[in-house]
Amino acid sequence: MNSRYSRQILFSPIGVQGQEKLQQKHVLIIGAGALGSGSAEMLTRAGVGRITIIDRDYVDWSNLQRQQLYAEQDVEEHLPKAIAAQKRLHAINKEIEVIAHIQDVTALELEQLVHDVDLLIDATDNFETRFLINDVAQKYNIPWIYGACVGSYGLTYTILPGETPCLSCLLESIPLGIATCDTAGIISPAVSMVVSHQVTEALKILTNNKDSLQKRLISFDVWQNEYSTMNVQPLKKPRCPSCGEGAVYPYLQQENQTKTTVLCGRDTVQIRMPFSGEIRTEEYAKLLENKVEQLFVNPYLLSFTADDKRLVLFRDGRVLVHGTKHVAEAKSLYHRYFG
């Protein structure tokens, strides 16, 4: 056995057999931002045999404060995060396989990627994608680890199909009006704490130490010195559409996915989220105040300027992103400011 992993092998719950298991496993990380890059590096150093990373974005200066795989040169070269991560991970450990996908995450792509995957790690910035992950995980019986952080707050939860409540059991529908890193900021210790919890749970699953899994939802605030765990097992719903009897996996169905349309002749992309209902634009205005330019709100809509683009949110949940014809760019801006 390679001496590279000697200290990990000395840890008795892993040992030689656990290390051999790690080298045979395949982990899919959805998102290569703060959580994704941190998890990818830890799992690479741990010797997980194959890591697939999917991300639609490129490295930006604002990422360097907390996204540990990236450097200034990546920003200057406008490298996609998946590619920059792949290059860095290969430099760390040439023994493992790192696969990079530069693309948006849709139900179709996700279902194509998961067939030989042992574990899914959520490193996304939005609940739309998390509900896709949840349904795919339930459909193909793959464990996944939810993680999120904003400001100094973090949250993580391990979901085992057939055993624990799934994300739909806990939330039922896509939440709206959630603070994001672009509206509330973030500090890197909160990221590191979530990554540590996610990767610890990942190592337990990949080495077949499931009896040691947390089995509780973990939340904390590193600035306010708060840490708590919650038993959410009673929230498991027998008739949940994603994990219950006769599950239909609603978020994998076309009619329940985000609709995007490039408006002809207007240099504008329209985005419509599923299950949105009526939006309280004044609540978004409070989140965005002093974070964006030219913020305007009236009883019918909210609009503002960010990254040289004009975004308009209507009360029926539609968003117009003016100044681009690229759907991926428009969706990235949407999730950045609307959670």
Shared domain for 237 and 316, answered yes or no, is no
**Could you tell me the pLDDT band of residue 264, with boundaries at 50, 70 and 90?**
low
Question: Which of the residue ranges 51-65, 135-149, 151-165, 266-280 would you say has the lowest mean pLDDT?
Answer: 266-280
- Domain end position, chosen among 221, 252, 283: 252
Q: Could you read off the pLDDT of 221-253 as tens digits, one per residue?
A: 999 999 999 999 999 999 999 999 999 999 998
166 has catalytic annotation: no
Question: In terms of C-beta density within 10 A (0-12 exposed, 13-18 middle, 19 or more buried), how is residue 286 classed?
Answer: exposed
Query: Residues 149, 166, 181, 243: which is the catalytic one?
Result: 181
| Cα distance between residue 6 and residue 40, in whole Å | 20
Q: Can you tell me the mean pLDDT for 89-100?
A: 97
Tell me the torsion sign for CA atoms 234, 240, 245, 249.
Answer: negative
Shared domain for 74 and 215, answered yes or no, is yes
**Could you tell me the pLDDT band of residue 281, with boundaries at 50, 70 and 90?**
confident
Which three-class secondary structure state does DSSP give residue 157?
A: strand
Shared domain for 209 and 246, answered yes or no, is yes
Shared domain for 149 and 244, answered yes or no, is yes
Shared domain for 243 and 314, answered yes or no, is no
Query: Is residue 113 over pLDDT 80?
Result: yes
- Domain end position, chosen among 186, 220, 252: 252
Shared domain for 231 and 215, answered yes or no, is yes
Shared domain for 232 and 129, answered yes or no, is yes
CA distances from 326 to 70, 201, 274 (A): 25, 37, 20
Shared domain for 316 and 236, answered yes or no, is no
CATH number reported for the structural domain that contains residue 58 in this entry: 3.40.50.720
**Could you tell me the pLDDT band of residue 177, with boundaries at 50, 70 and 90?**
low
HSE toward the beta carbon, residue 38, CA cutoff 13 A: 27
User: According to the model, what pLDDT value does residue 235 have?
Assistant: 95
Tell me which residue range forms the domain holding 269.
258-338
Shared domain for 141 and 216, answered yes or no, is yes
User: According to the model, what pLDDT value does residue 154 have?
Assistant: 95
CATH number reported for the structural domain that contains residue 316 in this entry: 3.30.310.10
